[in-house]
Chains A and B, each alone.
Chain A
Amino acid sequence: MRLEYKINVKDLNLFYGEKQALFDINLGFPTYQTTALIGPSGCGKSSLLRCLNRMNDIVSSAHIKGQVLLDNKNIYSPSVDVVELRTRVGMVFQKPNPFPRSIYENVAYGPRVHRLFKTKAELDEIVEKNLVRAGLFQEVKDRLTQPATRLSGGQQQRLCIARAIAVNPEVILMDEPCSALDPIATAKVEELIDELREKFTIVIVTHNLQQAARVSQQTAFFHSGRLVEAGETGDLFTTPQDERTQGYITGRYG
């Protein structure tokens, strides 16, 4: 069954020790769509992203109130296996972070850990399929055994996307995935995001407003830990309803 919202955040409050980082967030992430989270530095958008696959668990002072429902099940309930959760909700980071292994091994790593194949031939197929999906296969097919670190930044980032999708996640979280890339590499990643939307629900944090406008169907604007406004991306960038959104996206305050 396909739900309208893959992820539903309900009354979410996040604290780092005494400091509250998110206040009463309510936001649905539509299935097979890309949601962009925008807002000034420190607004809480990355914190929210990291709540969606419990990346904040590794921060000892962090605790939350409220719920994050993935397919209507709270990912913060005690019965949830966090490792399994993170295979369902994958993540791509700001700086490409390939493992210091071969291109092949980077993509094969997840399937190996989760035993997603029986034979070497099957693994080869998984690696190729995901490199193709990430739009990288043609560029690397003759040097799969070379170290991933020899690839360009843009190629490394697409490799990280291939690695993230190789374990068949349902949601991909992206934290500023293009901020270290040149415009051509950025365009390739954006095109990839658009293609990946057929199979995955995507959440992207970006400081690049034009990028949010280009890649997302829904945009949510955050300020001071609060969700100010969320809506269809075309509407939000032409007729924002809140003065603060208007001020931020038109470049009127920092």
Chain B
Amino acid sequence: MNAHIVKAYDEELKTLHDLIRHMGELTVKQINDALQSILERNDRIAHKVIEDDYEIDLLETKVDSLAIRILALRQPVASDLRRVVAALKISNQVERIADYACNMAKRALLLNQMTPFPLTASLSFLVTNPKEMIEKVLSAFMTNNVDLALHVWQMDREVDDLYNAYLRQLFDEMILDPKNISPCTHLLFVAKNIERIGDQATNIAEAVYTMVTGKPFKESEPFKDVDEI
């Protein structure tokens, strides 16, 4: 798309992108660190994740202010309007994802007080897809890539499958020995947070779809062949 005649307008839209990209990068780092704090039983890293959450909150506030400023001063229409509205939604969703990372770190502090539990290691497996989804869906936002957004939307199915399989394993362990109930409950919450990260990434994918096509996600039924999840 061509540049705006008013250059400052383009610069503001670029700043909006940069802020969201930065939010995304920090959030993925928070997820990595939260996972590390669980796997390595490291309280110091867990505390740092919890403390650093405010940085992402701050970025969300910045996105909000800038978006409101653009709405007021530039009165965007058409694709520009859809982009600013999408940015408002996406920053909110990324902030939520960061909260899930923070929740994982809080569980780490509890798990670290217990004896190590073998199923903990599988978390790194669970987290792979959701992290990739965040990176891809934000890239889809930056580049107006509907196909990539739809791909991310589809990736969530595997996240749900892995989560359900992991739950079954946890239940088995709890049935096997009531002593396992405590660590398994914490792991269950961690897994749930990871699964929710995938859900938020699909919400972002839907926002990107609407931003690029101008159509609401549900009515357009981009995948008629996908079963109800």
Determine whether the beta carbon of B82 is less than 8 Å from that of A238.
yes
| Docked CA distance A213–B76 (Å) | 12
Determine whether the beta carbon of B6 is less than 8 Å from that of A246.
no
Determine whether the beta carbon of A246 is less than 8 Å from that of B78.
yes
| Chain B neighbourhood of A254, CB < 8 A | 5
Please name the residue on chain A nearest to B82 by beta carbon.
A238
Instruction: Assess whether A249 is interfacial by the CB under 8 Å rule.
Output: yes
Q: Given that A209-B77, A239-B214 are known contacts, is A247 also in contact with B2, CB under 8 Å in the complex?
A: yes
| Chain B neighbourhood of A253, CB < 8 A | 2, 5
Nearest CB in chain A: distance from B76 CB, A: 7
| Chain A neighbourhood of B4, CB < 8 A | 250-252
Q: Which residues, 231 to 254 on A, are CB-close (under 8 Å) to B?
A: 237-240, 245-247, 249-254
| Chain A neighbourhood of B2, CB < 8 A | 247, 252-253
- What does the 1/0 interface line of B110-127 toward A look like (CB < 8 Å)? 000000000000000000
Determine whether the beta carbon of A237 is less than 8 Å from that of B78.
yes
The listed residue (B1, B3, B81) touching A238 by CB distance below 8 A is B81
Determine whether the beta carbon of A251 is less than 8 Å from that of B9.
yes
The listed residue (B5, B82, B214, B215) touching A251 by CB distance below 8 A is B5
Instruction: Assess whether A210 is interfacial by the CB under 8 Å rule.
Output: yes
Please name the residue on chain A nearest to B74 by beta carbon.
A251
| Docked CA distance A213–B75 (Å) | 11
| Docked CA distance A252–B13 (Å) | 14
Q: Which residues, 59 to 86 on B, are CB-close (under 8 Å) to A?
A: 75-82
| Chain B neighbourhood of A237, CB < 8 A | 77-78, 81
Determine whether the beta carbon of A238 is less than 8 Å from that of B5.
no
Determine whether the beta carbon of A249 is less than 8 Å from that of B5.
no
| Docked CA distance A249–B75 (Å) | 11
- What does the 1/0 interface line of A207-244 toward B look like (CB < 8 Å)? 00110010000000000000000000000011110000
Determine whether the beta carbon of A251 is less than 8 Å from that of B78.
no
**Can you sample 13 A-B contacts with CB below 8 Å?**
A238-B214, A239-B82, A240-B78, A245-B78, A246-B79, A250-B4, A250-B79, A251-B4, A252-B1, A252-B4, A252-B5, A253-B5, A254-B5
Q: A238-B77, A246-B78 are in contact. List 16 more A-B contacts (CB 8 A).
A: A210-B75, A213-B77, A237-B81, A239-B82, A246-B1, A246-B79, A250-B4, A250-B76, A250-B77, A250-B78, A250-B80, A251-B5, A252-B2, A252-B4, A253-B5, A254-B5
